[in-house]
A = this chain, B = another copy of it.
């Protein structure tokens, strides 16, 4: 399977390297407005540099990986869909639900295959947790708790065009909640504030938030987000059910523990998302390639991308209006 990589930045490099490392795949082309970046990634993966149009138009390309800036995602998906390419697109499809819907109509009309990059579903820890929940290990699921804290806030310039904490950061947790709940949330209530950096608040965003949601059958979920965690990239999931509780925790830098008069000290947790989720990115690609090979449809798909976005919109509205918000 031959890939065109659109976007040679941090995440593009990850996906390109994972494609190149597979015996059954190759990176055929790399595109980026930054010619040097495209050239470097092409060289590293044995690919050629090309324009987006060349990639999408090439009969040699089976699939595209869209790793360009968010505001290009929907256009690129539509272009690739119309060209008959299988599409892997980084989250989100777009920050605007209306735009996402129009994009998905094109995808549907063309019959294209679209997978959206909610990588955490493929983290070995969370994937194992979800499989055990789905397999009945905890009985009937009742409560989902998700904790997600970044090591530090992104630059203010990023904040400004990010869509805000709910659409940029917590969207991963909304997807994780849906992944685990097995039902759609019907209501969201959000609280939050700018405690990490006042400038984030002045930019109209928040950096600290908690959300609760419920489903029709009465399952409840809670999410906690912070843009800062001094101890690393804090990523935890817990599910509680009629037969027990299951949780997946963080990954430490090493298993070393030191004991002294100050107590027992363990290592920090992995700090960098590309390291923490290295296996998840590989697993995500496995799922994409595996589905294409078997003729199946990979998940999470465009609908999953839309629904996570709708939950983020509802949370944003709840936070803004200080009201609980029902999901249509």
List residues of A whose CB falls within 8 A of some B CB. Answer: 23, 44, 124-125, 128-129, 132, 137-138, 140, 142-143, 145, 147, 149, 187, 189-196, 208-214, 217-222, 224, 226, 228-232, 234, 240, 242-269, 318, 322-324
Contact = CB atoms under 8 A, between A and B. Distances in A.
B189 A324 contact: yes
Contacts of A228: 242
A113 B261 CA distance: 40
24 contacts: A23-B44, A128-B254, A132-B256, A187-B322, A189-B212, A190-B212, A191-B213, A195-B219, A210-B221, A222-B222, A226-B240, A230-B244, A230-B245, A230-B261, A231-B259, A244-B258, A246-B258, A248-B254, A248-B255, A250-B255, A259-B268, A259-B269, A263-B268, A264-B265
Contacts of A125: 254-256
A256 B264 CA distance: 11
A280 to B, nearest CB: 12
Nearest to A223: B222
This chain: copies in complex: 4
Q: Which 10 A-B pairs have the closest CB atoms?
A: A193-B218, A244-B260, A231-B259, A189-B189, A249-B255, A264-B266, A191-B214, A245-B259, A210-B220, A125-B254
Contacts of A232: 259
Contacts of A210: 143, 212, 220-222
Given A224-B222, A231-B244, A265 B268 contact: no
B258 A138 contact: yes
A130 B137 CA distance: 30
